Structure 1
């Protein structure tokens, strides 16, 4: 599809707003994901590369068409999807929630099955974010020391796969928001998703007054990891070993509403690391 002049982009049809971008209708069959300012253009290019590779591998994701700029902002034109999120589907039928989580597991396994090239490496991204995280120097040192002993990989890692980044379209599930994608080890990608299940934002309305959400979310995170390991053959202790680095990485960038809770969890794990009780014995550190 040809790109119209920058000044002619139809930006009066806003259909969605996220933490990093706004989404507009762009013709009959496409949308424009336009990043907010300030935003690093290389991150947008990385999302386009990752989404393009995922699409070429036949993974369930909308086709990325082009990168363009509008008034100093960078965006990506994608194939348009219709439908709510996987989280919406789970909340509409709470008794079926585990089934929706299992669909997310299967999607992540499919993503992680592919080798990729020309993407940032998971370890380098982790090292940078840990260095800038809002934690003490002791916690940073423990997280970096743990990271250095974790195995590297070249598999496609989404980096932010959670139930709100999966659309239930009329053609099935579709993963979106690839800007944090890396080449790396699946265990690190799974640990990140488990972290989001355990600590990410979750709006369940008035039900929050009646449900033990912390207990439920901890159980969901455990189920997710165990189910992924069952399907993939990856050991659970490999995923557990990534938890300290991904917790500290969560404290980089935008401040979360439950930041103190995440920081306390990172501090507990860093204490275990200092006592030598964090890294698994089921594999030889690299």
Structure 2
């Protein structure tokens, strides 16, 4: 395994292809994947679209391999319109927030941002790169921040991440199109995306993968969300 090259990589993990239609997601941060796997199994058992998890041990998560572009990729190449993409994103959040929390022991990110208590499940990183458009429909990936929480915080984080891309804080090929996404998302998103926006900003500031430049522009991204609300 160590001789294989990852076919995908994010800020925190690398993804390797395995046989039998499986992938290995291996965290470079040393994070234990068991809680992530438990949340995925819980929401999947309630019918929410997630990859099937086959094994979770230490930093390694073995999951179903899914084929299809991300929501962002599909929008960039014109397979999906921006309005349709935003509608999918908002609907995925709505469906997630309709699920009951796992309970007081279900956990959250432990960030102190309010994500560890609440009456629903929150993803806390649901944006167009974390939605795969597969043959069985949109599937949500990257559940490392997920747990019990407050839906409005989840919605605020999605809006804030889109705004970070829109203002150029996070480099992405969507560029200015992310600005249109923010505006449409705030019209369609479940709950109140502004009520916990300051808490969402505090959560983003605690993310170890954020660069100093990205951190310095969080207040500007917050202002962008408020201006569009």
Q: TM-score range by the shorter chain?
A: 0.7 to 0.9
Aligned to 1:228: 189
Shift of 1:192: 0.6
> Does the 8 Å CA contact 1:188/1:239 hold for their aligned counterparts?
yes
Shift of 1:119: 2.4
Larger Rg over CA atoms: 1
Q: Which has the higher helix share?
A: 1
Over aligned residues, Cα RMSD in angstroms?
A: 2.6
User: In the TM superposition, what whole-angstrom CA distance separates every residue of 1:34-61 from its partner, at most 9, and x where no partner exists?
Assistant: 111x4232xx122111111111111111
Q: Does 1:40 align with 2:27?
A: no
Match among 172, 193, 209 for residue 239 of structure 1:
193
Aligned to 1:203: 172
Aligned to 2:100: 115
**5+ residue gaps, structure 2:** 224-229
Which contiguous aligned blocks of 4+ residues in structure 1 show a shift greater than 6 angstroms?
none
> Does the 8 Å CA contact 2:39/2:146 hold for their aligned counterparts?
yes
User: In the TM superposition, what whole-angstrom CA distance separates every residue of 1:52-89 from its partner, at most 9, and x where no partner exists?
Assistant: 111111111110111135xxxx2111011111100001
Match among 131, 148, 151 for residue 166 of structure 1:
131
Q: Does 1:260 align with 2:225?
A: no
Alignment CA distance shift 1:59-1:11 (3 Å) = farther
Residues paired across the two proteins, number: 215
TM-score by length of 1: 0.68
Aligned to 1:251: 205
Which whole-Å CA distance do the structure 1 matches of 2:63 and 2:42 have between them? 14
Shift of 1:169: 1.3
